[in-house]
Structure 1
Amino acid sequence: MCTSHVLLAAGNCGPAHTTRHKRLTRRGDASVTCLLHCTSRSMAHLCPPPQRLPPLLLLLLLVNSALADGRHECERPCVEGETRTCYYHFHAQQYYTMSRACYSCPDNLDDCSREECIVADGTSIPVLAINRQMPGPSIQVCEGDHVVIDLENGYISDTEALHFHGMAMTGYQYYDGVPFLTQCPVLPSTFRYQFLATCIGTYLWHSHVGVHRVSIFGSIVVRLPEDPHRGLYDQDLYEHVLVLSDWDHTPVETTFWGNHHVGNFAFPKNILINGKGRDPNSEVLLPLEVVRVKPGLRYRMRFIDGGGGDCPMIVSVDGHRMTIIGMDGTSSAPFTVDSFIMLSDGCYVTDRKVFNGRQMGGSIVQAKQGAILRYEGAPEEDPTETFEYDPNPIGVTVNPLKPDPYAPNLVSMVSMSSLQPFVLDEKVDKKFYLAFNFNAVNATPFFNPELYPYNRVPPKFQIPTPQVNGITFIYPPSPPLSQPDDPQPTVCLYGEAELGDKVEFVLIDEGNFINSSHPFHLHGKNFRVVAMGQLGDQTSVAEVQALDEAGHIKRRYEDAVEKDTVNIPHGGYTIVRFTADNPGWWAMHCHLVDHSEMGMVGVLHVGTREDVPPVPKGFPTCGHFVP
């Protein structure tokens, strides 16, 4: 596991650039450690049931135009009752960083800002990309807009699928984007995703195929006409969305398979902010992401963690404190911090006042990577200093990997509060214990029990397998949501909940073999974080159950914060609760790519087939063919 620090630096930097694509014109996204802003009016109306538009009306309302300044037409001030259909064309293809599109970059730094030039940190490697951008296009719409995305798979021989992380997809369950669970993977062809923007806040879209999401990702922002936090900030700018992602200097597939077949464990080498960064081992001063501000104003900043590696990111802003006002699509009670930590585990929204005075010269956002917080009137110069960071930052830090009730400056998710008052029932209808662990088993993707079983190969190759409850998840050959009559295998962790059940998950990191926390993500529903604790380097379901039965685990029933992704401390537990009111087949998994793609996944089935909308006409099918 690596630990990184992301700094936002104010002051000297080059001008921000405009990114355009022939299919979709937009402003370039901003990328910093994952902090996502989400606002909602009340828990009851967070994601109200959507209303479908007639197909003919959809065709008449498709929007694919751009405003004069390069913004998508749906990036607009939101007005009560005025909604649009917002159309996006996403072209997925094999691409390269530092390609011919970059001309003479980095020798000519102006070339680094050319259209379709993906610079990253100056390393030239093959990547998958949407519209030849990284991050991909930002989807920024208003409450009630109908979002339509045509995914064109331009790969030579690979599949694709998109997941809209944090969006409940109520009424649009078939577009949750999990191959072989909610849809078939998209072959080289075009597949239309659509949903109604009823979930308010800041979100992430990303690939849900293999390790593609390392470079296939982007932001989603759904705004309200009247925001409940409006009095806390002066400006909420479309370009103030910062997407952080981890970055390696080796093609991700090579690293991934090397980890699991040869034992060449490697962690991300760098952090990118909106696809930009500097290689700490290079003397080349590549352009950094620029966040433009005016002294004295308060800004809403939306931070999104687009990373998938085991690399926690500490986010701070030199010379400034931040007030967190939202996480994972829900508004939280304002909480002022010096830094926060992200491990592929959600989104935070902050507001920050930019002060007059010496800050004009330049302040730094810290993974040993930086972006520039550039004040109006500051010189147009690039900073030349090396970004430094403290792995144990001074001040108040939210979301530590190891919660400590005796450290008042380390604030866990259980200590954060929702904006709207909310009281949970003490009793639940269903309770599930989910044990995340690495186990010494002969998992057939990596071992042959006859030729090279786990206990006979040299120690270097004795690589434990990520599992949940001792099960390595294997996806079915066809999606049970859209093909419910197909026979399904039982090689998966599977839970059932009736529609309306009050559900509790006791998430446990048993801590065997590897010191790694797990960011747990649930599709289709947010949950309340009611308890969290670390018991040591290792624990077990039996130990957590015994503590709970003895009354040593206290739950928070009032105003618990709501999230869609939460960290499970190494050797500890996290307890979450939710009402299973969204029918469908929902994935739940560790959000680290290395873990989820190797089987650290489960499925929650809510309701019956009669509770979900009918399968869309002509929806693609897949499955085995064994005559």
Structure 2
Amino acid sequence: MASSRFALDAILKTSLMYFILLRIGVDSRTDAHECFRTCEWPPNPMICRYEFTVEWYYSMSTSCFDCPYNMTDCTRPHCIPINGVPRGIVTINMQFPGPSIQVCEFDTIEVKVNNEMVNEESIAIHWHGIHQRGTPYMDGVPLVTQCPIPYRSSFTYRFQAETVGTHFWHAHGQARANGAVGSLIIRQAAAAEIHSQLYDYDLHEHVIIMQDWINQLMIDRFTKIFYGVLDLLPDSLLINGKGRYREFIDESSNNQSVYTPREVFHVQRGKRYRFRTISNNLMDCLVEVSIDHHNLTIIASDGAPLQPVEAGAYDMITGEKFDFILDASAEIGKYWMRIKGRGCPGPGPGFEELALLVYEGAAGLPDPPEIEQTNPLEVIVNPFNRKSSEFVKNIIDLSAAVNGTEQVPVPEADETHYMVADLELVNNNDYNHPVYNPAFGVKGDLSTYKGVPSPQINHVSFKLPSSPLLTQYQDLSEFEMCSTKSVLAHHQERCENEHCQCTQVLHVELGKVVEIVLVDQGNFKLAHAMHIHGYRFQVLAQGKLGEKTTLDEVKRQDKAGNITRRTHNVPHKDTVFPTYGGYVIVRFVADNPGWWLFHCHVSPHLTAGMAMVIRVGSDKDLPPVPRNFPRCGGDWHQDDIGSTVPIKPAPTPNSAGYNGRYPMLSLAVGGCVVSTIIGMLV
């Protein structure tokens, strides 16, 4: 329960909040953990313990009884209606979205994850946006920072709540796309929160997860995309796991159409509310957020405070988070919150979803018409592929919030890395067999290409190692790994024409200032949401050179001085996207040692290989491995005389051709790989 040592003003404010909520029929303590409280200054940290049981379940299950014909049944325990379409889902504690973790800065978060997935899948939970300083073993990336949690086993994550702001947790893998997701909010005391004077309430129930949804298991859609039809469109959108898609006909009411319920938010006129929004999109679409007849004052993104910007709408790509303030100053009534699909690959139905904003005193009024309304302000923030203007504010147009008129400079870069993140037209043997189903009718002739584009970074598809990099790097074969330096220096031309695959690692020294110029060549006009673990980037520049571009062209423009970098009060982000035919330039101080995944957050892109690892520092810089930390991976073989001894197999070169010491040339010959050492690594 809330601490008994609240300051008097905190008690009065909290009591008023509960009084208002009770008057409008909302219990703010519903599903609220004892660690959800008014944060104190000086801090009074708590240990916040949670237990997550991961299970397969079913939407529109028998627990839903007569939902949606009887709307009360839709709110029964264990009823998960989603959009009315029955399908298998992954739940945490029989919830979707899963439990919301809402704590105070300096608390300790402890989550025991029990894997009860009956088809014996393994799982790991990533704490998206949490930097895990001093606790890199808790980042939750299978085969990078830990062994995945096997069926009928548990793993307890424990870390300090130091990365303040709006975050979320999710399974790192396809279970995220099947429902394993929830919010994670780390609040500050009012004295430490830079925007605390701009709003009256920051409520538990005003945390929102927005996402697209697929009416089938993600593995079904993934295999369809890469082995069948290139189907990149989601089926619908959801707000806090709720939406409308399937139409039900109520024969008892003159065959009227009924649907599953939408989300509802409550406010009181004259008050200002902080809303925290999270994008858990699975596919390529962004979501555009607006509320009819209201402006939104954006104050933070990816947990980092921004100088307030008033807008009529804003966009979020998968992995992004935005906080806004709603000034509830409209006439007492009901208003639609809208999310729309933007930047989707082609037209399609169902790409808008609504939630209801209800003012106190308006509960008995009819719902407003669903027809789109005009917002008071035309400004849009963070749109996809639009040039900055008076009415268009891209991330690079925003500024970090600082105290007073302070100008915070960006540190000079010690090293700059130019990288490409795109879909490449190569013959990927994972999806197009070179003999039975080649991607090219005529090798090298793009006009005859009929394969599936390969998601890559630096023309290399990421392949997870056989054991976790963070704790068992020494167990790995040197042939599994490749360095970004080797890939860019020795193999770019070959990898542009042939499929290259390895565990790609960029190694940077602890304490260096690292700049990344990330290029999207514009091959397919899609948004690649690039998310970094362990850090936030400083965003220095963002631009578009044309419908298409190349890495060499961006380098040339940069060398000629045609790309300008901001130098002060730049926004901080953990998820960014270059516009297609353009670039985004980011920097970070490599002061958090570990092996940190850097990847596209679009689910099929990550699964197919648009990822790499940034290794910061060396083993001596890491904190000690937790006692009895699980180990896994490797190969096992029974010898000829029946004894059971582990045998280390002969190394198999990776297709990117770097074995850790020598650059190697790998060629596909009749389905086999022939490798030739071409020289010592420089």
Shorter-chain TM range is 0.7 to 0.9
Identify the match of residue 155 of structure 1 among 103, 117, 120. Answer: 117
Q: Does 1:477 align with 2:466?
A: yes
Identify the match of residue 74 of structure 1 among 35, 42, 51. Answer: 35
Q: 1:469 offset after TM fit, Å?
A: 0.6
Q: Which amino acid aligns with 2:155?
A: F
Q: Which residue of 2 aligns with 1:24?
A: none
Q: Which residue of 1 aligns with 2:431?
A: 446
Q: Which residue of 2 aligns with 1:171?
A: 134
Q: 1:474 offset after TM fit, Å?
A: 0.1
Q: Which structure 2 residues correspond to residues 5-20 of structure 1 after superposition, within 5 A?
A: none
Q: 1:447 offset after TM fit, Å?
A: 2.1
Q: Any idea what the Cα deviations from partners look like across 1:329-384, whole Å, max 9, x if unmatched?
A: 11111111110011114111111110153x42434434221111111111346637
Q: 1:394 offset after TM fit, Å?
A: 6.7
Counterpart Cα distance in 2 of 1:422 and 1:483: 43
Kept in 2: contact 1:143–1:200 (CA 8 A): yes
Q: 1:494 offset after TM fit, Å?
A: 1.6
Q: Any idea what the Cα deviations from partners look like across 1:287-318, whole Å, max 9, x if unmatched?
A: 21111100010101111112221111110011
Kept in 2: contact 1:262–1:460 (CA 8 A): no
Between 453-462 and 152-161, report the one with greater CA deviation: 453-462
Q: Does 1:360 align with 2:360?
A: no
Counterpart Cα distance in 2 of 1:302 and 1:356: 20
Q: 1:423 offset after TM fit, Å?
A: 3.5
Q: Does 1:236 align with 2:236?
A: no
Label 1:428 to 1:266 Cα distance change in 2 as closer, same or farther (>3 A): closer
Unmatched 5+ residue regions in structure 1? Answer: 1-14, 19-26, 28-66
Q: Which structure 2 residues correspond to residues 457-496 of structure 1 after superposition, within 5 A?
A: 461-488=450-477, 489-490=480-481, 491-496=502-507
Label 1:361 to 1:170 Cα distance change in 2 as closer, same or farther (>3 A): closer
Q: Does 1:612 align with 2:622?
A: yes
Q: Which residue of 1 aligns with 2:542?
A: 532
Identify the match of residue 257 of structure 1 among 223, 226, 234. Answer: 223
Q: How many residues align?
A: 561
| Off by >6 Å, runs of 4+ in structure 1 | 15-18, 457-460
Q: Which structure 2 residues correspond to residues 491-570 of structure 1 after superposition, within 5 A?
A: 491-512=502-523, 514-570=524-580
Identify the match of residue 79 of structure 2 among 113, 117, 120. Answer: 117
Q: Which amino acid aligns with 1:397?
A: I
Counterpart Cα distance in 1 of 2:371 and 2:337: 8
Q: Any idea what the Cα deviations from partners look like across 1:167-187, whole Å, max 9, x if unmatched?
A: 100111001011111001110
Kept in 2: contact 1:422–1:560 (CA 8 A): no
Counterpart Cα distance in 1 of 2:127 and 2:178: 15
Q: 1:143 offset after TM fit, Å?
A: 0.7
Identity of aligned residues (%): 37
Q: 1:214 offset after TM fit, Å?
A: 4.3
Q: Which SS does the other structure have where 1:546 is aligned? A: helix
Q: Which residue of 1 aligns with 2:254?
A: none
Q: Which amino acid aligns with 2:455?
A: P
Q: Does 1:198 align with 2:162?
A: yes
Q: Which SS does the other structure have where 1:449 is aligned? A: coil
Between 475-484 and 375-384, report the one with greater CA deviation: 375-384
Q: Which residue of 1 aligns with 2:489?
A: none
Q: Which structure 2 residues correspond to residues 196-595 of structure 1 after superposition, within 5 A?
A: 196-210=160-174, 212-226=176-190, 227-279=193-245, 283-357=257-331, 359-367=332-340, 368-380=352-364, 383=367, 385-386=369-370, 388=372, 395-405=378-388, 407-420=389-402, 421=406, 423-425=408-410, 427-456=412-441, 461-488=450-477, 489-490=480-481, 491-512=502-523, 514-595=524-605
Label 1:479 to 1:70 Cα distance change in 2 as closer, same or farther (>3 A): closer
Q: Which amino acid aligns with 2:333?
A: M
Kept in 1: contact 2:290–2:312 (CA 8 A): yes
Label 1:280 to 1:610 Cα distance change in 2 as closer, same or farther (>3 A): same
Identify the match of residue 145 of structure 2 among 182, 186, 191. Answer: 182
Label 1:465 to 1:211 Cα distance change in 2 as closer, same or farther (>3 A): farther
Q: Which SS does the other structure have where 1:260 is aligned? A: helix
Q: Any idea what the Cα deviations from partners look like across 1:473-525, whole Å, max 9, x if unmatched?
A: 0010001211132124121322111111001010110122x220111100000
Counterpart Cα distance in 2 of 1:179 and 1:557: 37
Counterpart Cα distance in 2 of 1:337 and 1:331: 16
Max Rg structure = 2
Label 1:616 to 1:385 Cα distance change in 2 as closer, same or farther (>3 A): same
Kept in 2: contact 1:166–1:524 (CA 8 A): yes
Kept in 2: contact 1:340–1:398 (CA 8 A): yes
Label 1:356 to 1:596 Cα distance change in 2 as closer, same or farther (>3 A): closer
Q: 1:456 offset after TM fit, Å?
A: 3.5
Q: 1:75 offset after TM fit, Å?
A: 0.6
Kept in 2: contact 1:167–1:199 (CA 8 A): yes
Q: Any idea what the Cα deviations from partners look like across 1:12-46, whole Å, max 9, x if unmatched?
A: xxx9888xxxxxxxx7xxxxxxxxxxxxxxxxxxx
Q: Which residue of 2 aligns with 1:21?
A: none
CA-based RMSD? 2.1
Between 265-274 and 158-167, report the one with greater CA deviation: 265-274
Counterpart Cα distance in 2 of 1:265 and 1:91: 32
Counterpart Cα distance in 2 of 1:124 and 1:535: 45
Q: Which SS does the other structure have where 2:91 is aligned? A: strand
Counterpart Cα distance in 1 of 2:410 and 2:198: 32
Kept in 1: contact 2:313–2:381 (CA 8 A): yes
Label 1:345 to 1:144 Cα distance change in 2 as closer, same or farther (>3 A): same
Q: Which residue of 1 aligns with 2:498?
A: none
Q: Which structure 2 residues correspond to residues 7-46 of structure 1 after superposition, within 5 A?
A: none
Q: Any idea what the Cα deviations from partners look like across 1:392-413, whole Å, max 9, x if unmatched?
A: 99710000111413x3211110
Q: 1:280 offset after TM fit, Å?
A: 7.3
Q: Which SS does the other structure have where 1:504 is aligned? A: strand
| TM-score, normalising length: structure 1 | 0.86
Counterpart Cα distance in 1 of 2:143 and 2:102: 29
Identify the match of residue 90 of structure 2 among 116, 121, 128. Answer: 128
Kept in 1: contact 2:232–2:284 (CA 8 A): no
Q: Which residue of 2 aligns with 1:58?
A: none
Kept in 2: contact 1:324–1:350 (CA 8 A): yes
Q: Which SS does the other structure have where 1:492 is aligned? A: strand
Counterpart Cα distance in 1 of 2:258 and 2:370: 12
